[in-house]
Structure 1
Amino acid sequence: MCILVGGMIAFYAQAQQEQNTYLLIGGIALLMVGVYRTSRNIPSKHEESEESFVKTEKEDEI
């Protein structure tokens, strides 16, 4: 929701004849907060698999 609202605010601030810098900064900040909150919920692929792809072989006793 923050991504959509922030994007619309930033687009609106950019589309005006005289750009409102504070409104543009606020829209971009809201957009970044939305992206951060979304990426925080996506798990990392490194956290899921802790196992190594290399399998160890058992040494035979001679």
Structure 2
Amino acid sequence: MNISRSINFFCIVVGGLIAFYANAEQKQNTYLLIVGIVLLMLGVYRTSRNIPSKSEKPEEPFVKTEMKDEI
């Protein structure tokens, strides 16, 4: 596992734990919740940035139409 993927995973896990902890307290700490959500979203963004897009070639339709023979 390379260092970039490790950082992404770390951000997602730590951000989720911080957000969960900040939300679970009786008196919620808003700033801690914001920091957790920002870390979580940063990790998700960095991970999704590395996922390749679908192929660029045009897709064929799922249902193909049949050519009717003219008589």
- Range into which the TM-score falls when normalised by the shorter chain: 0.7 to 0.9
Equivalent residue for 2:23, pick from 3, 10, 14 = 14
Is 1:51–2:60 an aligned residue pair?
no
- Matched residue, 1:57: none
Is 1:2–2:11 an aligned residue pair?
yes
Q: How many residues align?
A: 51
Shift of the alpha carbon at 1:43?
0.3
Percent identity between matched residues is 75
Is 1:30–2:39 an aligned residue pair?
yes
TM-score by length of 2: 0.65
Unaligned runs of 5+ in 2: 1-9, 61-71
TM-score by length of 1: 0.74
Aligned alpha-carbon RMSD (Å): 1.4
Question: What whole-Å deviation, never above 9, does each CA across 1:1-28 have from its counterpart, x for those lacking one?
Answer: 1000000000000011100000000000
CA separation of 1:43 and 1:8: change in aligned 2, threshold 3 A: same
The runs of at least 4 aligned residues of structure 1 exceeding 6 Å deviation read none
